Structure formats: C-alpha cells, structure tokens
Structure 1
Amino acid sequence: MTRYAIYAVPGALGAHDDAAAVSLRAAAETWYARQDFSELTVSARRYGFHATLKAPFRLAAGHTEAELQDALSRFAAARTELVIPALSPRPLGAFRAMLPTGDLSGINALAEETVREFDHFRAPLSREDIARRRPAELSLRQRELFWQWGYPYVYDEFRFHLTLTDALPPHQAHEVDAALADHFADVTGQDVALRSVVIAVEPDSAESTPVESTPGESAPAESTPAAPFEILSVHPFAPTITT
C-alpha cells in the first residue's frame, strides 16, 4: 500500500522560495548524486532531502489522498514562514545531517502540531510495522510515543534534522566529515526560511518495506529495495506581511 509523509523541505517552492533554502536544497541534491559516497547515502537518497514532521503512514480507512492534501493546504495557510537557524553538517549519532543552532521553538511547535493534527489520517500500526520498529529496543518514553503516534521520535524526542548520510562506519567518518564541510561550505551557517510543507509519497509500498532509520538508532536491514519517496504536493504557508 502507498505510504504518505509530511515533510519540511527547504527550497520546495523553487523560484518562489528563500534563496538560501534553494541553494541548500541544490547542494543536498548534488551531494546525494556523488558517486564517491553513494554507498553511504542509500537510505538518505531513497527518502529524499527532508526533515520529518509526520513520519510515513498508510491512510486510514475512509480517508483519501485528496482529503489529506486539502487538510494540509488549510493547515499551511494558517501559518507563516519559519526560520531554521544556522544550519551546518554535523554528526547525529553515526549519521550526518544538517542541524540547526539557535531558537527552535517555532519549528518544534510546527512538528508537534503536524503530528497531532494529522494523526486521524494514519492507519493503525500493522504487525509488520511494529516488528520493523523494534519497540523493545526503544526507551520507555519512545515506546509510549510509538504506541500513541506511530513513531517514537516526536514531541520531546523530536530533533529537527535534514539527513545527509546513512550510518557511517567509524573508519570513514573523518573522510566523510571533511567532504561534507567542503561540499556545504557555501551554505553552512546560514539561516534558512521554511515557507511550506510537503506531502511525500512512496508508491505501492509492500508490508516488507523498511522503516527510515533515524539518526541515533541502528539502521534496519533493507532486504527488499522499496520505491523512492517523491514529493506529491507542496503546501505554502501564508505570505509574511511586511510594513
């Protein structure tokens, strides 16, 4: 069955977006395209450049894709742009991601509201969903969040990040860190505006589809390659009025 996710993707509005966000997204896409580190970006490429707001889910019975899009359009139109402060490529566990530094209250509130407001669109967890997430390996708080919201890294366990790599073998960490610092030098440290949210879709995902490994956790084995996520629709925030 098809899975949907709600993501923050800086630069998703293209020419209508913040210039720094567009530059960051372009740098990320060329990073994913690099052949010298392709074996270390397999999962990151499949999920695409994004920060998760509502983790991948199957639609609950009685809901449609069009309903989800309409609801997210209304949700986005009731909000204005946010600033993601001082992004730079840094370690997050064994992973590497673009991480912000500074006041994250706005982006954290957006993530909490997204999780809460769209949970009625999420189908109940299947046995396969539960097995793949390995709840026994989660902390007590993460298990509580997983059972309630279908994903353990929400609310107080949420950390905004734009993933750049899969889990790195220790012997390659220094080489990758140096490459990331060079590749993202022109966009490192910039404040980036977030002017929209997106719906991403994974077409016809099978029950064996692996979960997205979250920085800080061990990556589940991917026995069967799944279709890459694609942006289905972009939902702009209300324009910021300046005087």
Structure 2
Amino acid sequence: MTARHAVYWVPREDHPLWAAGVSWLSRGDHRASATRYGFHATVKAPMRLRGSTAGFAAALSALAKAHRAVPLPAFEVTWLRDFMALCPTAPLPAGFDALATACVKELDGFRELPDAAERARRIRGLDEEQVRLYDTWGYPHLFHRWTMHLTLSDETTDPLLRAALAEAARAHFAEALAVPMGAGELAWVIEPAPGAPFHIERRFAIGGDA
C-alpha cells in the first residue's frame, strides 16, 4: 500500500484563515512543498496505514470527540528555521497539547513500520533524542520537540526573498489573523501516491461530530 495517511490540525472552513491559507498556497511561487502538503499543522505525521481505513476513521472520530474544544491563541507570520510559517503567539493551552499527544500515541497502532532503507533516510541528520522519537512514534518532532506551525513557504536563506515573502504574507493574512481562532478541527488527510498532493478526506470537530 503506497498511500500515506496523516492527521492535521486545520482552521474551520468557515474561519477566514482557511480561505486565506488556501489562497496563499495557490499562488505557487516559493511554496511548492507547502502546497503539496496543504495548509495545516501536522499532528500525526504521514504514515502508511496498518489496518483498515474505516478503523482509522472511527478511532480518530472517537479521539476528537473525547477532547474538549479549547480556543487557540492568535497566530503570526514568522520564520521557523529556513521556512516561513504561521506560529502561535502564546503557549498552546494544555487541553490542545493533550489532544495532540493523544493523536500521536493512540493512533500509533495504525502506523506501518518503515523498512530499513526508509528508516535510514528519515533519521539522517537527526540527534539522538529525535532518532528515539522516530523509532518509537514515526516522527522526530514530537512532544517538547514539536512547534505547532502552518508552513507557508519553501526553505530559503536569501535575505531579500525572506523579507519580501514575509511582507507579502503579513499583508495577506492580516485580516484573517485578527479573527479569534477558536479550536479549529482535526483532518484526516491522504497522500494517494508518493509525491502526490495531500487531500482532506474528512474533517472532525474537536469535541463534536465530523
């Protein structure tokens, strides 16, 4: 099975940030990788699925319902390492951290383990703790090593390009970011084949129904 499945946090479709994010990524320049993955923050990283899609959807639905919806802080345009992203302006509420942790741990039984070649590729350049996280949970940026972010650009170290992208993004997102964020939603997303764009299969309200 070549498809990969993941869980994203996304703004609600009726929140202006969703339309602003989709519009930003559709412009294409210097954001090809971000566009392929879609406008989101990763919660459970892409994985090949062990078990049925119906079982995975049921587990994610139950998990989303089991956690209380808590409003998230505002986001801002910033640079995270060498790419531009929207990041929270304040610490995440404990309830959301608990939800993110539950997604990582409780859905891990659906993760197909990588073969030796994939593992070697994925752990290249990681530190010892990140390798342990990858081997245990399939992703190196988790728990205290995780920064919630919605990627807006490809990587670049060009200072002029970074300044231009940031100026454009701040203008583009200003109106949407002024609206209180609310809790957002969890999304089940699928990459149907290697290199193909990810698409949202189904959204789940936190504390509610799909």
Instruction: Give the structure-1-normalised TM-score.
Output: 0.80
2:164 to 169, 175, 180: 175
Give the 3 Å change call, closer, same or farther, for CA 139–189 of structure 1 in structure 2: farther
2:90 to 99, 102, 108: 102
Query: What is the deviation of 1:168?
Result: 1.9
Cα deviation digits, residues 104-126 of structure 1 (max 9, x gap): 13322221111000000000112
Query: What is the deviation of 1:2?
Result: 0.8
State the distance in 1 between where 2:184 and 2:165 align.
Answer: 30
Q: Which residue of 1 aligns with 2:134?
A: 146
Query: What is the deviation of 1:53?
Result: 0.6
Letter in 2 for 1:5: A
Query: What is the deviation of 1:154?
Result: 0.7
Query: What is the deviation of 1:55?
Result: 0.1
For the pair 1:184 / 2:173, whether they are aligned, the reply is yes
State the distance in 1 between where 2:95 and 2:84 align.
Answer: 23
Q: How many residue pairs were aligned?
A: 205
1:162 to 134, 150, 154: 150
State the distance in 1 between where 2:65 and 2:77 align.
Answer: 31
For the pair 1:26 / 2:19, whether they are aligned, the reply is yes
Cα deviation digits, residues 58-110 of structure 1 (max 9, x gap): 012xx100100011111111122222202111111111111102231332222
2:183 to 194, 197, 207: 194
For the pair 1:228 / 2:180, whether they are aligned, the reply is no
Query: What is the deviation of 1:234?
Result: 1.1
1:115 to 84, 104, 122: 104
For the pair 1:53 / 2:54, whether they are aligned, the reply is no
Preserved CA contact (<8 Å) 2:11 2:184: yes
State the distance in 2 between where 1:191 and 1:101 align.
Answer: 12
Unaligned runs of 5+ in 2: none
1:43 to 33, 36, 48: 33
State the distance in 2 between where 1:167 and 1:88 align.
Answer: 18
State the distance in 1 between where 2:103 and 2:74 align.
Answer: 23
Query: What is the deviation of 1:140?
Result: 1.5
State the distance in 1 between where 2:60 and 2:84 align.
Answer: 29
Preserved CA contact (<8 Å) 1:54 1:114: yes
Cα deviation digits, residues 167-191 of structure 1 (max 9, x gap): 1232411111111111111123553
Query: What is the deviation of 1:238?
Result: 2.4
Preserved CA contact (<8 Å) 2:67 2:99: no
Letter in 1 for 2:22: E
SS at match of 1:91: strand
State the distance in 2 between where 1:103 and 1:156 align.
Answer: 12
State the distance in 2 between where 1:129 and 1:85 align.
Answer: 36
Unaligned runs of 5+ in 1: 16-21, 206-225
- After the TM superposition, which segments of 4 or more aligned residues of structure 1 sit over 6 Å from their partners? none
